A and B are shown apart, each in its own frame.
Chain A
Amino acid sequence: MKIKTAVTLSLFVFFTVMVAITAAYVALYHEQISETLKF
């Protein structure tokens, strides 16, 4: 596998997983997040 292909796949997996977790967390715990981010 070429390194460019491996980088592309890794970026795809990384952003998919991180966006999915963040979206689910924000959807379910948005009140807790606003509390945490309140300075």
Chain B
Amino acid sequence: MTYLSKYSGIAIITILAAVPGIIWAFQAATPNSFSSLGSAALSVGKLLGLSGMALFSLNFILAARLKFTEPLFRGLNRAYIVHHFVGGLALIFLLFHPMLLTLQYLTISLSAAGSFLLSTLTELDKFLGELALATLVLLLVLTFYVKLPYQFWKLTHKFMGLAYFLASLHVLLIPSDVSVIPLLRGYMQTLIATAYLCILYRTVFRQFTVPRFQYKVANVVQVNPQVVEITMSPIKQKMHYRSGQFVFVEFRARGVRWEDHPFSIVSEPAEPNLRITVKSVGDFTETLKLLQAGAPVFVEGPFGQFTFQSIGNPKQLWIAGGIGITPFLGMVRELEKERVPPATSVILYYVVNKPNEAVFLEELRAIAQKFSFFKLVPYFSEQQGRINGGIVEEGTRDLAERDILLCGPPPMMYALRRQLVSLGINNQKIHSEEFSLQES
């Protein structure tokens, strides 16, 4: 994978956010634009406002779960990581936009700066911008600093549309470079219109616009006190997927909140039914134990590129932490059923605190006994100590030849990646499934 293809999504976001600045530089900048402290503050303030608004718009496109985002970002989970970063960057840019405009007036006098601030309360076009920024700050502070339950976190994100609506009115109504430069106006209008379409598609008319497969609950099995396996059968069309991918699932059942949550698929593609394994980590997942057979289910997906096939190298080392076993369960079940490439060799480290937490261990042991290409290494942290890169290197003779797939608690994945890289493993050969929305 080339450097360019790996970072193509980030490159596109960067270019699209820089375009307004480039148009401004060619069509609005003058030799005096940076000639004094005041004019430089004004120019940088304008540029940050334009790029901040472009990033804010692009973030709605990133969050719309459109099919083209997957290949650009090497998986929807990574697109969401970029979305989180872009949201933070947009807020920073939009904070510095009014601050620098105020500082520009401060280079004239305190009275001028104060009058400018006062005008943001009395003039509608400026007030809309202030209100948008206040809403954005409130919502992003909740996102970044408060650990909200999933449903409230999701609600705060829905209100981003309101902040965006106010911000877009500010951009389009205020007399500025956008109002006088047709190319800049056209570009910003296009970005804003695209973002509105994404909001309508993903949030407002989601029930009608987002394609979803209709399933029904076929069976719910309590695997251990904390884990349930839910089997769903298709009502009409069966969804095609690769093992290791994930789906967003919404259960329409009494006692369960009607909202979609991401889950790894643990069934293998040839199975007629779709299976997910869920660990109780919050209010929502706790209620899934109450699901009854026949409950309608809406499934969106599949998403993700964390699959055996997408890696390319048939020699792989998988490290699963706790319920992070789920994508590997589907993958190993698929390898068991399919004709695997001749050079296939998979080692699975299954890391749990104690043996009774290792769900499906017996099934995995049975597959390992049956197939020479699959080796299972159960690892119990309470008895053997915390797993680290050194332990993995010691237990895997040909580690350098393997691609390494990690799925588990984020701190474990970050630590293992860091340790493996420090042991000389190429970072490009380490693949991780970082999908942790708020606990649900």
**Is A21 touching B95 in the complex (CB atoms < 8 A)?**
no
Q: A18 contacts B99, CB within 8 Å?
A: yes
Which one of B99, B113, B118, B137 contacts A33 once the chains associate, using CB atoms below 8 Å?
B118
Please provide the chain B residues from 111 to 162 with a CB less than 8 Å away from any CB of chain A in the complex: 111, 113-115, 117-118, 121-122, 137, 140-141, 144
- Residue pair A7, B88 in contact (C-beta under 8 Å): yes
Chain B positions within 8 Å of A28 at CB level:
110-111
Q: In whole Å, how far is B52's beta carbon from the nearest beta carbon of chain A?
A: 11
- Least distance between A37 CB and chain B CB atoms (Å): 7
Please, which residue of chain B has its CB at the minimum distance from the CB of A36?
A: B118
Q: Would you give the 0/1 interface string for B212-244, flagging 1 where the beta carbon is closer than 8 Å to chain A? A: 000000000000000000000000000000000
Task: Please give, as numbers and ranges, the residues of chain A lying within 8 Å of B122 by CB-CB distance.
Answer: 36-37
Partner of A14, one of B84, B96, B117: B96
B91 CB-CB contact with A under 8 Å: yes
In the complex, what distance in Å separates the CA atom of A6 from the CA atom of B91?
10
Partner among A10, A18, A21, A36 whose Cβ is within 8 Å of the Cβ of B110? A21
Using a Cβ–Cβ cut-off of 8 Å, how many residues does chain B contribute to the interface with A? 26
Q: Answer yes or no: B57 CB below 8 A from chain A CBs.
A: no
Residue contact B113 to A21, C-beta cutoff 8 Å? yes
Q: Given the complex of chains A and B, what is the CA–CA distance between A11 and B89 in angstroms? A: 12
Tell me the bound Cα distance from A33 to B84 in angstroms: 40
Known: A29-B111, A36-B122. A7 touches B144 (CB 8 A): yes
Given A3-B85, A3-B88, A7-B88, A22-B95 contact (CB < 8 Å): no
Q: Is the CB–CB distance between A17 and B103 below 8 Å?
A: yes
Smallest Cβ distance from B290 to chain A, in angstroms? 36
Total A residues in contact with B, Cβ cutoff 8 Å: 22
Complex Cα distance, B103 from A33, in Å, reads 19
CA of A17 to CA of B45 in the docked complex: distance in angstroms? 15
The answer to whether B144 touches A21 (Cβ under 8 A) is no
The answer, yes or no, to whether B173 is at the interface (CB within 8 Å) is no
CA separation between A33 and B113, bound complex, in Å?
13
Selected contact of A4 from candidates B88, B95, B137, CB within 8 Å: B88
Indicate if the CB atoms of A10 and B85 lie closer than 8 Å. no
A residues less than 8 Å from B99 (CB atoms): 13-14, 17-18
Q: Decide: B102 and A6 in contact? CB cutoff 8 A.
A: no
Report if B92 contacts A (CB, 8 A). Answer: yes
User: Does chain A have a CB within 8 A of B291?
Assistant: no
Given the known inter-chain contacts A3-B88, A3-B89, A24-B110, please indicate yes or no for A10 contacting B96, CB distance below 8 A: yes
Query: Which A residues are in CB contact (< 8 Å) with B106?
Result: 21
List B contacts of A17 (CB < 8 A): 99, 102-103
Q: Which of B89, B102, B111, B141 contacts A18 (CB 8 A)?
A: B102
Of the candidates B92, B118, B121, the one whose C-beta lies within 8 Å of that of A10 is B92
CA distance A8 to B145 in the complex (A): 9
Residues of chain A with a CB closer than 8 A to B140's CB: 7
Bound complex: CA of A37 vs CA of B117, how far in Å?
A: 12
Docked complex: A18-39 residues within 8 A CB-CB of B: 18, 21-22, 24-26, 28-29, 32-33, 36-37
Nearest chain A residue, comparing its CB with the CB of B85:
A3
List the B side residues contacting A26 at CB < 8 Å. 114
Task: Evaluate contact between B118 and A4: CB separation under 8 angstroms.
Answer: no
Supply 8 A–B pairs (Cβ within 8 Å), ascending by A: A6-B89, A7-B140, A14-B95, A17-B103, A21-B102, A21-B110, A22-B114, A37-B118
**15 further contact pairs, Cβ within 8 A, besides A8-B144, A11-B141, A29-B114:** A6-B88, A7-B88, A10-B95, A11-B95, A11-B137, A17-B103, A18-B98, A21-B110, A24-B114, A29-B110, A33-B118, A36-B118, A36-B122, A37-B118, A37-B122
Closest 8 CB pairs of A and B: A25-B114, A3-B88, A14-B95, A10-B92, A7-B88, A3-B85, A10-B95, A21-B113
